[in-house]
Amino acid sequence: MPWGFYGRTDELHRLQDILGRNRWFFVKITGRRRIGKTTLIQQALQGGQRVFYVQVPDSGPVGVLSAVADAMDTFEIPAASFPRPATLADLAKLVGNLARAGYAVALDEFQYFNRERLRDFCSLLQAEVDVLSASASRVPGGLLVLGSIHTEMAAVLQDAHAPLYNRTTDELELGHLDVESVLEILAQHATVEPSRLLFLWTLFEGVPKFYRDCFEQGVLGAPRRELLERAFFASSSPLRTEADNWFLKELHGRYDVILKYVARHPGCTSGELVDHVRQVSPETNEQVGGYLKVLIEKYRIIEKRLPIFAKKKEKKGRYYLTDNFLRAWLAALASPVSAMAFRPLDVVVRQADERLADVEGPSLEKLVATLYEERSRKGIGDFGLTERVQGYWDRADTEIDLVAVAGEDNILRVVSCKRSPEKLLGDLPTFDGHIARFVTASPRFGGWKLEKVAVSPALDESTRRRIEARGYIAQDLADLTAGLLGRGRGRA
């Protein structure tokens, strides 16, 4: 079966509606690299509208203008009607002239125009955009700007002092594909099994390009180590340099110590992070707070989480990488891949697989929380969430993996997640103690129904009965994905 277009139904319809207005548009589309921004545009433009696409390089004016000229040749833009731009002013005029001629002009990595050497373009484009907006009904084309660094896109388009402030007509932000779309991919090109879902979701989460890379290598449904070898270790592997090419090189090595520690110690505290940095890189110690701020606010690579019900000013934050692929790379894959020139291939692939299995534990918690939220949003099942699923911890060493709140029904679910069913079962007596302390610390939920849940990727009937005998609801990934891909899959 050929590769298809997965998910993004709402975003596709919205973009098609924008393009179908037959009047000037200026659309901002944001999302991490490889998330499918360009593919979405391609899908929306299948109706026949002319398109001009260029990926803006992280370069000076000469490099940008050269890339534009090359793209014009590729898209066969006639030079007689549209001269190749020699200056940034010419480029701004070209955008306007193409829009007037009915083209959808797509400028990818638009955030680079926030760099000092290209910033003049924004003022030049503003003048052109204002003219186009004033005669919108007579302009059949428009401009789509795509960007992968949130704060720089915001600086270009949303800062009140920026030339292009308040000029966009529409905005789309693309997140990861939902789990239902991932299941659709697996159903068509691999197998819908809990172990396969957790393995691939730990690696790729909802980034469609990575699933397609494995599909094109013929390993999306292959055994774990074969997939890892072909996707990351072979000379033609599409993903062996992905992390560096994606954004690590953009960080210029400044944040490596922090990123690696958070990847390998998800849920670490600020104190733990500072202690580690002090040991391995004393010169970076004083900058940890500033580095965290940049990684959280500018790049959105790290997030600071508070325990559920905590006030925003409480100092109980823990730090996590937001992106599964980056975490899997830094925690499990980067070192074996770098060592492959000096060690036997089967050894480094085995190391990568074993390390990735450790990463799957915290990944399971994230997947379960995502499934709870997705099921509630789509009206599947009987647990309607009223807020985000989060963990809970306190100074009394209380640890609750996930807390789910159904406020309209006065139900509180506390969830323990373990990759190993036996470990899950064995830890339940200890978890009972965590629940007791949590309940004591949360008197506001007195009178609510408390449900205890134990989750592992796959539970056999014997383990399920033993869990239920301890007063817990037993759930596995088959339970939590049931109904997303069809009522006939998984358990009802």
Asked if 367 and 179 touch (Cβ cutoff 8 Å), the reply is yes
**403 beta partners:** 390, 414
Q: In the chain, which residues fall in CATH 3.40.1350?
A: 363-481
Q: Which of 7, 10, 375 is nearest to 184 (CA)?
A: 7
Asked if 331 and 359 touch (Cβ cutoff 8 Å), the reply is yes
DSSP category for residue 110:
G
> Looking at residue 465, what is its pLDDT?
98
Q: Which of 356, 4, 26, 358 is nearest to 185 (CA)?
A: 4
Q: In the chain, which residues fall in CATH 3.40.50.300?
A: 9-173
Could you tell me which CATH number the domain at 363-481 has? 3.40.1350
Q: Which of 226, 194, 231, 188 is nearest to 209 (CA)?
A: 231
CB proximity list for 378: less than 8 A, separation 6 or greater: 180, 484
- Among 3.40.50.300, 3.20.20.70, 3.40.190.170, 3.30.200.20, name the CATH number for the domain at 9-173: 3.40.50.300
SS3 196: helix
> Looking at residue 489, what is its pLDDT?
36
Is beta strand 318-321 parallel, antiparallel or unpaired with respect to 390-393? unpaired
Give the whole-angstrom CA distance, residue 128 versus residue 163. Answer: 11
Structure tokens at 84: 């190749």
Q: Where are the beta strands (DSSP E) in 248-398?
A: 302-305, 318-321, 390-393
Q: What tens-digit pLDDT sequence spans the chain (492 residues)? A: 899 999 999 999 999 999 999 999 999 999 988 899 999 999 998 877 899 999 999 999 999 999 999 999 999 999 999 999 999 999 999 999 999 999 999 999 999 999 999 999 999 999 999 999 999 999 999 999 999 887 789 889 989 999 999 999 999 999 999 999 999 999 999 999 999 999 999 999 999 999 999 999 999 999 999 999 999 999 888 898 887 776 666 676 678 899 999 999 999 999 999 999 988 877 766 688 899 998 998 888 999 999 998 887 788 899 999 999 999 999 999 999 999 989 999 999 999 999 999 999 999 999 999 999 999 999 998 899 999 999 999 988 999 999 999 999 999 999 999 999 999 999 999 999 999 999 999 888 889 999 999 999 999 999 999 999 999 999 999 999 999 985 333 332
Give the whole-angstrom CA distance, residue 233 versus residue 69. Answer: 36
Is beta strand 25-30 parallel, antiparallel or unpaired with respect to 142-147? parallel
Give the whole-angstrom CA distance, residue 355 versus residue 349. Answer: 10
Q: What are phi and psi of 279, to 5 degrees?
A: -75, -40
Asked if 149 and 299 touch (Cβ cutoff 8 Å), the reply is yes
Overall size of the chain counted in residues: 492
Give the whole-angstrom CA distance, residue 453 versus residue 464. Answer: 11
